[in-house]
């Protein structure tokens, strides 16, 4: 696996065959990290030749990162992977945190200002889910390059 040097702290970009991967450590309670995660993802998608995924991927990533930083007591790890398959290329974004409590879909009222993030993920992603990982969990989504 080829590794390219990080340009900013915590960022690691890897290339494996034709696939691409971005990994970023996000510090707890550092909500400016949400904007940074969006920017790093947009730059990676442009570099990988799939800038058409950026708007949706940024929105959904922003929701998952915000949830991880607001609802857990530690940091999170963002990983984005572009599959190498030419026929069915997919972007998979994962946000890992270190709290085992799984997020749940809510039906917020009209006057409630939060609780819509996973509804957006469910509506816009081709697939999404949650899986246990060590002492925490990974919340992930996938977007097809074909629909970009």
CATH of 2-147, one of 3.30.300.130, 2.10.70.10, 3.30.565.10, 3.40.605.10: 3.30.565.10
Of the given ranges (37-41, 75-79, 111-115, 119-123), which has the lowest mean pLDDT? 111-115
The token duo for 9 is 């702290």
Q: What is the pLDDT of residues 30-67, one digit of tens each?
A: 678 888 899 999 999 999 999 999 999 999 999 999 98
Q: What is the predicted pLDDT for the residue at 106?
A: 76
Q: What is the predicted pLDDT for the residue at 24?
A: 85
28-35 CB contacts, 8 Å cutoff, 24+ apart: 28/69, 28/72, 28/73, 28/74, 28/75, 28/76, 29/69, 30/69, 30/75, 31/66, 31/69, 31/70, 33/65, 33/69, 34/62, 34/65, 34/66, 34/69
Q: Where are the domains of the chain?
A: 2-147
Mean pLDDT confidence for 71-80? 85
Question: What residues are paired with 22 via a beta bridge?
Answer: 13, 80
């Amino acid at each position: 696996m080829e590794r390219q040097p990080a340009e900013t702290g915590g960022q690691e970009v890897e290339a494996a065959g034709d696939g691409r991967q971005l990994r970023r450590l996000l510090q707890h309670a550092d909500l400016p990290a949400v904007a940074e995660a969006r920017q790093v993802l947009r730059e990676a998608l442009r570099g990988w030749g799939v800038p058409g995924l950026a708007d949706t991927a940024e929105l959904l990533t922003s929701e998952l990162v915000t949830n991880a930083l607001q609802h857990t007591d530690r940091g999170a790890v963002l990983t984005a992977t572009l599959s190498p398959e030419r026929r069915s290329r997919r972007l998979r974004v994962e946000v890992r945190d270190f709290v085992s409590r799984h997020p749940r879909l809510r039906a917020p009222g009209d006057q409630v200002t939060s609780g819509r993030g996973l509804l957006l993920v469910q509506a816009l992603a081709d697939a999404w889910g949650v899986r246990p990982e060590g002492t925490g969990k990974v919340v992930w989504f996938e977007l097809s390059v074909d629909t970009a």
